[in-house]
Amino acid sequence: MRIIAIAIALSFGWSSAWGGSGSPVELSGGKLTLSQISNANGTEYEIDVKPGDEIELTIIDTCKNDVYIKYLGYTPPPGAGQQKDQGALAAPPCTGEQITAKWIHAAKNAGYVVNVTRKDSTKALQVIQAGGKATPLEDRTYILRVPANVGWGLSFSGGFTISELINRKYSVNTTTMSVEGQEDMQVFTVQRNGNAEDAISPGAGFFAHVSHPQFRFDALDMDFALTFGIGVGQGEETTRMAGVSLGFGEFKITLGEMFGKVTTLPNGYQVGDELPAANAIDTLDTRNDHAFFIAFSYDFLGSSARQEFSGKLAPPEQK
C-alpha cells in the first residue's frame, strides 16, 4: 500500500462533505485517524491547523507491511512540487495494523488529498479483523480541508531578553575649599558614575504573539506578529514589553520597547547639585523608564493549546 499526501494550495475553499455512513473518524486539531475499510472513498474532512502546526494522519485497518508514505505539495496554478518519501516500513502480519503520516502545515496550502493505494496493483490484499473475518482492502482517496478563513492566531513563548533599561549609578565628589582665616570647608556634589553602570541589562520574559496569515511570507518561511510580554530584569524588577516579532516556525525574534523601574537620584536632586552631606544619596529612588530591547524566545505551548486560544480570536464560520 502507498499513502500519498498531496498538498494542494487552492485559491478557494472546498465544500464540506463528511465521512460516509457508519465511518469511524477520530479528529482532534491536526490529528486524524481513518479506517481504510470503513471510511468511504473520496470523503472530505476538515482539519483545524495553522501554519507551522503538525498534521498527523493515521490509517488503520490496513496492511502495514505493504505501506509506505509519500506526499507532494504544490501551489496554484497547479505545478510540480517537492516530494518527500518516508521510506519503506516494517512488515508485520496483515492483521489490521496501522500506519501514520506526519507533516507540517504550510500557510500556502488550503488542503490535502491523501491517496491510499497498493504498491503492487496486481496483488489482492486482505485484513483480518475481529472475529477472524477477512476483508479485502480497496484503494482510498481522502480530502483534508483547512478552513480558508483562519483569522487571527495567538501563540505563547518564553526566552531571554537584552535591553538598555539599566540602573543609574551615582557618586559623590568631595572638594575641599580653603578660605584664608577660616577653617577648610568640604563641598559635596553629585555626579553620574557611568563607568560603574552596565552596558546592557539581561533578563527573562514570557510573550504572547498575535498574528494573521496575511502577514506571513511563505517564500522565507517567516511571519510577523504583534507581541506583548512580561519579564524579570536587573534586580528582579518586573518589566513590561511591547514590540514586533519575526517568527521562524516556533522560534521568535522580538524587537520593541521595554518598560520598567530604574534607580535614580532622590527627589530634588540632579547631577551637579551640591549635597548637604556625603551620605545624602546613599539611598536612591526609583522611577519608571523605557528603553529598546531584543528577545529570543521559543513557543512553549503545543499546537492543540494554541488552537484553543486562536479559536477564540478567529471570526465565526460562515454557514
Return the ∠ at Cα 36 (arms to 34 and 40), rounded to 5°. 80
Pairing of the two strands 140-145 and 43-46: parallel
Helices (H), the chain: 303-313
pLDDT computed for residue 64 by the predictor: 76
Distance CA 296, CA 262 (A): 23
pLDDT computed for residue 275 by the predictor: 86
Cα 136 to the chain's mean position, in Å?
43
pLDDT computed for residue 148 by the predictor: 61
Which is nearest to 115 in space by CA: 2, 236, 197, 234?
2
pLDDT computed for residue 98 by the predictor: 84
Cα 103 to the chain's mean position, in Å?
16
Going from N- to C-terminal start, the domains of the chain cover: 2-145, 153-313
Distance CA 189, CA 271 (A): 8
pTM: 0.51
pLDDT computed for residue 15 by the predictor: 34
Residue 82 Cα distances to 6, 71, 74, 75, angstroms:
10, 8, 8, 11
Is there a contact between 285 and 267 (Cβ–Cβ < 8 Å)? yes
User: DSSP 3-state assignment of 220?
Assistant: helix
Distance CA 145, CA 168 (A): 57
Is there a contact between 201 and 233 (Cβ–Cβ < 8 Å)? yes
pLDDT computed for residue 281 by the predictor: 85
pLDDT computed for residue 95 by the predictor: 76
Which is nearest to 47 in space by CA: 24, 76, 26, 69?
26
10-residue mean pLDDT profile of the chain (319 residues): values are: 41 36 56 85 79 82 72 45 38 67 77 82 78 80 74 87 91 82 82 87 94 78 91 84 92 95 87 85 88 94 50 46
Length of the chain: 319
Distance CA 79, CA 75 (A): 7
Distance CA 55, CA 69 (A): 14
Which is nearest to 296 in space by CA: 258, 252, 259, 230?
252
